[in-house]
Structure 1
């Protein structure tokens, strides 16, 4: 199974590399940025680790979270009762599939918006999320630089929302790959802002402002798909005709290596100096 997954991931990585090599060469947000920029090897490791071991870890945390919700909901430790609650039939699940798919996207992005803000505002969470923001040159591959604990927490919060609202938790099998691929596109070194739809769907320009260290872009553009959430809650920033130029984090630099980044949030130095960017 692991061999098949590795071969599949290698093929997908090769296909995406060719696709974005062409796109980022054609319409770059920052001209002259190297495709094999600093940290690309680390991000390739993330591609394989987060997509395999990381997902198994996240799945285990999700199942544990759903089980705990089931215990609270049923007031029982009976496995069958918990399973029946988690898989209960609800009116939402009897809707047309297309409507469910849209609602799932809306709910996933809503939960993602607030969990994303939590990762920025709460120092213990920011130490893990800062790994994702540590890239000083943002491109499609930097999207996968995500600490496994960051990934697991995001997934368990989304799964909990699905189950509580009444969607089948299995619908995560649709939502997670969609948002993963969309996030890869959002991080690409592209100057696309989708024109008149700029506040309807998130674009590469929109999300690259989220990664900037320039003051005007700090704590902005948390939504991963629908900018409406940023507009409603006052965190949208997308000036016409402007592009962010500086990326990364403030405070102590994050190590370049995969293993260094994996353990960095637990180091005393990180706890002492790695603070979230200031909120306005």
Structure 2
């Protein structure tokens, strides 16, 4: 059994490496800075997140059996898959949006999320580069309502495939015009400006899949065709995997370049 997802990683590499070479946003080497650390994130974070999702599902389904009327879970799970999947995308992305915003707003949480923003050369592997605490809390907040409401296994499986590939795409070093769809579906350009280490990008574009959420809550950053000058953070993020995992637990002065959003936004 491929518990570390090596086969999946190779498939992703065979797709995204040529894709980024042909349609890159900016020239970047395949063997770029931080590659080795990102590969460790892929293997270990992937395993951790899989275990956590199974635990979340088991405990949530048990709680739902006691708290949610069976008529509701049957009605939700009995819908056509093509209808359930968009509902799941909406519900989960609301959870992702607010979890993501909390990780930027609350200093104690930012220490964990700063690890993800520490990426200085962004590509598809950046999708895996998240502190385990960041990944676990975000998954818990976004997926618990899905299991609680009784969405079918088939619809959750379809959503999982869409979410996985879309997350890789928005982190990838590609320049693809989305046209009018950019208002509906998060694009690499949309998420790239969330990672930009520039004042106009701070605390913007929190949604994972639906930019309309940022538009609704005043955090959308319309950048047109501009390309970020640089990525990363001002925080002193260690370069090693274990250094990054332990970073939030260290005592250090906060030097974040992502200040708490204004309440007037």
Relative to the length of structure 2, the TM-score reads 0.88
Of the three residues 237, 246, 249, the one matched with 1:263 is 246
- The answer on 1:179 being equivalent to 2:177 is no
Of the three residues 16, 22, 26, the one matched with 1:26 is 22
Contact 1:139 1:189 in 2 (8 A): yes
Give the whole-Å Cα distance in 2 for the aligned partners of 1:107 and 1:121. Answer: 21
Deviation sequence 1:173-228 (CA, Å, 0-9, x none)? 44344323211110111112412211111111110000011111111111111111
Deviation sequence 1:105-161 (CA, Å, 0-9, x none)? 111111111111111111111111111111011111111001111111111112332
The number of aligned residues is 260
- The answer on 1:93 being equivalent to 2:82 is no
- Identify the residue that residue 38 of structure 2 maps to in structure 1: 43
Contact 2:37 2:240 in 1 (8 A): yes
- The answer on 1:106 being equivalent to 2:90 is yes
Give the whole-Å Cα distance in 2 for the aligned partners of 1:172 and 1:147. Answer: 24
- Runs of 4+ that moved beyond 4 A: 61-67, 83-88, 169-174
- Identify the residue that residue 258 of structure 2 maps to in structure 1: 277
Give the whole-Å Cα distance in 1 for the aligned partners of 2:60 and 2:75. Answer: 23
Give the whole-Å Cα distance in 1 for the aligned partners of 2:60 and 2:255. Answer: 28
- Identify the residue that residue 76 of structure 1 maps to in structure 2: none
- Identify the residue that residue 208 of structure 1 maps to in structure 2: 192
Change (3 A) 1:146 1:87: farther
Task: Point out where structure 1 has 5 or more consecutive residues left out of the alignment.
Answer: 74-80
Give the whole-Å Cα distance in 2 for the aligned partners of 1:52 and 1:20. Answer: 22
- Identify the residue that residue 237 of structure 2 maps to in structure 1: 254
Give how far 1:55 is off.
Answer: 2.4
Task: Point out where structure 2 has 5 or more consecutive residues left out of the alignment.
Answer: none
Change (3 A) 1:118 1:176: farther
CA RMSD of aligned residues (A): 2.5
Contact 2:78 2:152 in 1 (8 A): no
- Identify the residue that residue 133 of structure 1 maps to in structure 2: 117
Give the whole-Å Cα distance in 1 for the aligned partners of 2:45 and 2:156. Answer: 16
Contact 1:62 1:155 in 2 (8 A): no
Deviation sequence 1:78-116 (CA, Å, 0-9, x none)? xxx649879973422221111011111111111111111
- Identify the residue that residue 220 of structure 1 maps to in structure 2: 204
Give the whole-Å Cα distance in 1 for the aligned partners of 2:198 and 2:75. Answer: 46
Give the whole-Å Cα distance in 2 for the aligned partners of 1:172 and 1:262. Answer: 30
Relative to the length of structure 1, the TM-score reads 0.83
